[in-house]
């Protein structure tokens, strides 16, 4: 067994590998860019080496620096995590040549399966079901349009070296095929240094289901059931679960056996994932093979009881698999939510900055798990992926897993940046998600115009009113204890209040009771029982005996409460205060319609207009790159450019002016 390994990655996956290595008694070396010098993975590792500036192409993607770090520290093996160099054939080969073990498949397997064009041809030879498409690299957008027409729309345009939703577009017509080809090529070149693109038929109403496989160097192979990854937004997975609510045992066996046949065809040694697109009739087609650990591997770990990182390390060290196919079972149900630094209420735009508060839910063995690479006070950088953490739960049934996930999301506190927790909470409550009747188009179909606060269902609005009233009364009672009051003139706290939420005004009576307060609203009694203390961001308690966890934030007169993805801003005051507050003028926001503002922090890649130019609605104005994704800003209405304020190459803040219109 190795004595020391280097992790050629960052963030949560680097921390995840370190945990298993530590459990196995293996020392770890972290590599880091200048932007990551204070990162959690650097702190957790036994040693660390700086490998360059913040941009990944100058640090995490530079093979020479990683190999030099191995030699400098005496690391015998490298775990690549996912992303970066994890599916790079040259990196795997160079490590092998240097006598350093690659904790992953051999370079020839990476090459054959990492290249989507080559892998599809191999899959056909191995008698694995494949989707119709054009399997050679495409040289121009015109060529792409011609091929797309031949296959028949819709088509999927994909970067050959792609992954994680980068370099992937779906086109429904010639214009989208033309533009999608150019975007895929650019994204693929920036993210992977390989701009080859191919096209295949897009299966309508598809499910994205993948099979986890394990192989060793002794010819042993097993499949570890499936993962359901159909809940996606812009081709990036949002929720993953295992098993799938759709797959029956016969389909699972057929998919698993095809996945193993493919792994065997390329002498695959390590953990790998064979992705399939599955139609409504349970017909399935090979999509690609990921020759690395997947982001969503924890759901497989929770239903099988296996540590996949440990399996990868043992296989790389030459050990035989310790299990056979007969040993692989399905224990309960696991689910994972990706917690991303993005604002769901602003079109999921990236959100960067300092994590003022980061308080994940408490981990409970075999129930709640949090994989993360950040900490409170740390920085979410614009240079890397937007994922903050993975929240994983396990239950005896799918319904229990969903309930556990809802409770865990309620208890996950993030302040300073926006996160997609409200969106995840809305999905957990969606009837179609709960029924298991969904496909990869679920989010686009259910939220065609984007996501807003009104789309988060909340079945108990009285909870917010009762909680805010109890919080306010607790504050009033504490204030009344101030020292130095004159005898006979002590402050008397009243029981009657007005709770204001937007345009709604509710009259409540709040009376202290043992363990909390009794709140009367509309003639109905709500017993709020809680051990909440001042300064705590979570209010745990019961409302009429039913447990709840509410996030609490006070800002001046306002209480911002969050529960089940719904945020409510409330004010609690006396009747007279409420009367006066109603007379206060409303401050209207300024008119910003004559400016193109940066919707996110990022790098301005391109300004597509010039001063004096007439623009039409829908025309491209600028391109911003943030968190490894290109974002095209388009004109919302016709107009004329008065001034180009920002120049390509500029680092933009949120709401910074790019273009001014007449």
pLDDT of residue 459: 76
Class of domain 106-129+208-323: alpha beta
Task: Name the percent of the chain lying above pLDDT 70.
Answer: 99
pLDDT of residue 197: 87
Give the C-alpha separation, 586 to 226, whole Å. Answer: 54
Residues facing residue 439 across a β-bridge:
none
Among residues 287, 251, 252, 265, the alpha carbon closest in space to that of 221 is found at 265
Mean pLDDT is lowest, of 56-60, 236-240, 378-382, 414-418, for 378-382
Q: CATH fold of 132-201, please?
A: Dna Ligase; domain 1 (3.30.1490)
**CA 24 from centre of chain:** 29
Q: What is the pLDDT of residues 210-220, one digit of tens each?
A: 999 999 999 99
C-alpha triplet 433, 436, 438: angle, nearest 5°: 70
pLDDT of residue 136: 78
- The full set of domain ranges for the chain reads 4-103, 106-129+208-323, 132-201, 332-448, 461-581, 595-661
**45-60 mean pLDDT:** 95
Mean pLDDT is lowest, of 174-188, 484-498, 561-575, 620-634, for 620-634
* Backbone φ and ψ of 141, nearest 5°: -60, -35
- The half-sphere exposure of 405 on its side-chain side, counting CA atoms within 13 A, is 33
Whether 310 has a pLDDT exceeding 70, the answer reads yes
- The half-sphere exposure of 634 on its side-chain side, counting CA atoms within 13 A, is 6
Q: For residue 362, give the DSSP letter.
A: P
Q: Which residue has the higher pLDDT, 346 or 399?
A: 399
Count Cβ neighbours within 10 Å for each residue of 3-18 and write b for 16 or more, e otherwise: ebbbbbbbbbbbbbbb
Q: Are 85 and 8 in contact (CB under 8 A)?
A: yes
pLDDT of residue 629: 75
Cα→Cα distances 98→27, 64, 101, 209, Å: 20, 11, 9, 37
pLDDT of residue 350: 85
Architecture of domain 4-103: 3-Layer(aba) Sandwich (3.40)
**342-365 mean pLDDT:** 92
CATH number of the 595-661 domain: 2.40.50.100
Pairing mode, strands 236-242 and 270-278: unpaired
C-alpha triplet 134, 136, 137: angle, nearest 5°: 115
Per the prediction, the chain carries an average pLDDT of 93
pTM: 0.83
Whether 516 has a pLDDT exceeding 80, the answer reads yes
Mean pLDDT is lowest, of 268-282, 392-406, 589-603, for 589-603
Q: Are 3 and 76 in contact (CB under 8 A)?
A: yes
DSSP string, 642-661: EEE-S-TTPEEPTT-EEEEE
Q: What is the pLDDT of residues 523-537, one digit of tens each?
A: 999 999 999 999 999
In the chain the first and final C-alpha atoms are separated, in Å, by 69
Q: 534 is written with which tokens?
A: 């001042």
Whether 353 has a pLDDT exceeding 70, the answer reads yes
Among residues 401, 406, 412, 400, the alpha carbon closest in space to that of 361 is found at 412
Q: What is the pLDDT of residues 465-510, one digit of tens each?
A: 999 999 999 999 999 999 999 999 999 999 999 999 988 999 999 9
Class of domain 461-581: alpha beta
Note the residue count of the chain. 662
Which stretches of 532-644 are DSSP H helices?
575-581
Is 98 known to be catalytic? Answer: no
- Quickly tell me which residue has 């095929």 as its tokens: 177
Q: Quick one: 332-448 is in which CATH superfamily?
A: ATP-grasp fold, B domain (3.30.470.20)
Q: What is the pLDDT of residues 226-251, one digit of tens each?
A: 999 999 998 899 999 999 999 999 99
Among residues 20, 68, 394, the alpha carbon closest in space to that of 243 is found at 394
Catalytic residue among 226, 288, 301, 342: 288
Q: What is the pLDDT of residues 12-40, one digit of tens each?
A: 999 999 999 999 999 999 999 999 999 99
* Backbone φ and ψ of 299, nearest 5°: -65, -35
Give the C-alpha separation, 659 to 662, whole Å. Answer: 10
Whether 64 has a pLDDT exceeding 80, the answer reads yes
Whether 305 has a pLDDT exceeding 90, the answer reads yes
Give the C-alpha separation, 520 to 211, whole Å. Answer: 54
Note whether 4-103 and 332-448 share their fold: no
pLDDT of residue 163: 67
Whether 164 has a pLDDT exceeding 70, the answer reads no
């Amino acid at each position: 067994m190795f004595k020391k390994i280097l992790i050629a990655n960052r963030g949560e996956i680097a921390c995840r590998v370190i945990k298993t290595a530590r459990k196995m008694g293996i020392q770890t070396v972290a590599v880091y860019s200048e932007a990551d010098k204070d990162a959690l993975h650097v702190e957790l590792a036994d040693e660390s080496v700086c490998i360059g500036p913040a941009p990944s192409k100058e640090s995490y993607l530079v093979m020479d620096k990683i190999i030099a770090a191995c030699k400098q520290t005496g690391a015998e093996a490298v775990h690549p995590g996912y992303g970066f160099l994890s599916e790079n054939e040259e990196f795997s080969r160079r490590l092998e040549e240097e006598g350093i073990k690659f904790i992953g498949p051999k370079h020839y397997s990476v090459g054959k399966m990492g290249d989507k064009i080559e892998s599809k041809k191999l899959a056909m030879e191995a008698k694995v079901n494949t989707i119709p498409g054009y399997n050679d690299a495409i040289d121009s957008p015109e060529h792409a349009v011609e091929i797309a027409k031949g296959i028949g729309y819709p088509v999927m345009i994909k970067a050959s070296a792609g992954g994680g939703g980068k370099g992937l577009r779906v086109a429904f017509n010639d214009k989208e095929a033309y533009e999608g080809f150019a975007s895929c090529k650019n994204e693929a070149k920036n993210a992977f240094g390989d701009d080859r693109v191919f096209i295949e038929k897009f299966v309508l109403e598809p499910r994205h289901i993948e099979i986890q496989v394990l192989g060793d160097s002794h010819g042993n192979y097993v499949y570890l059931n499936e993962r359901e990854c159909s809940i996606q937004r812009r081709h990036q997975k949002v929720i993953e679960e295992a098993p799938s609510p759709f797959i029956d045992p016969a389909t699972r066996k057929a998919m698993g056996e095809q996945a193993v046949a493919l792994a065997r065809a390329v002498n695959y040694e390590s953990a790998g994932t064979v992705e399939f697109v599955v139609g409504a009739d349970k017909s399935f087609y090979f999509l690609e093979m990921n020759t690395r650990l997947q982001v969503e591997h924890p759901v497989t770990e929770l239903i099988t009881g296996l540590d996949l990182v440990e399996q990868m390390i043992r296989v790389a060290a030459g050990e035989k698999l310790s299990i056979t196919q007969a040993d692989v079972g399905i224990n309960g149900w696991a689910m994972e939510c990706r917690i991303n630094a993005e604002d769901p209420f602003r079109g999921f735009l990236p959100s960067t900055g300092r994590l003022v508060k980061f308080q994940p839910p408490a981990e409970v063995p075999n129930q709640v798990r949090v994989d993360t690479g950040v900490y409170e006070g740390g920085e979410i950088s614009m240079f890397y992926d937007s994922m903050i953490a993975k929240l994983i739960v396990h239950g005896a049934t799918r319904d229990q897993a969903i309930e556990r996930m809802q409770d865990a999301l309620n208890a996950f506190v993030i302040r300073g940046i926006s996160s997609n927790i409200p969106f995840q909470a809305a999905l957990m409550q969606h009837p179609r998600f709960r029924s298991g009747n969904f496909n990869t188009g679920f989010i686009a179909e259910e939220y065609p115009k984007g996501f807003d606060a009104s789309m988060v269902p909340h079945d108990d609005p009285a909870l917010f009113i009762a909680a805010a009233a109890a919080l306010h009364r607790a504050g009033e009672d504490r204030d009344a204890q101030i020292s130095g009051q004159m005898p006979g003139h002590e402050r008397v706290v009243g029981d009657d209040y007005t709770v204001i939420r937007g345009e709604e005004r509710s009259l409540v009576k709040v009376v202290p009771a043992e363990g909390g307060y009794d709140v009367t609203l509309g003639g109905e009694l709500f017993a709020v029982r809680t051990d909440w203390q001042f300064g705590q961001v979570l209010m745990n308690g019961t409302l009429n005996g039913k447990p709840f966890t509410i996030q609490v934030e006070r800002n001046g007169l306002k209480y911002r409460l969050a529960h089940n993805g719904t945020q409510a801003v409330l004010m609690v005051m006396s009747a007279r205060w409420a009367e006066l507050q109603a007379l206060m003028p409303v401050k209207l926001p300024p008119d910003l319609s004559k400016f193109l503002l940066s919707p996110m922090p990022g790098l301005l890649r391109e300004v597509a207009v010039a001063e004096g130019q007439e623009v039409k609605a829908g025309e491209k104005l600028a391109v911003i790159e943030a968190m490894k994704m290109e974002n095209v800003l388009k004109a919302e209405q016709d107009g004329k450019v008065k001034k180009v304020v920002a120049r390509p190459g500029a680092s933009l803040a949120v709401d910074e002016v790019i273009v001014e219109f007449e």
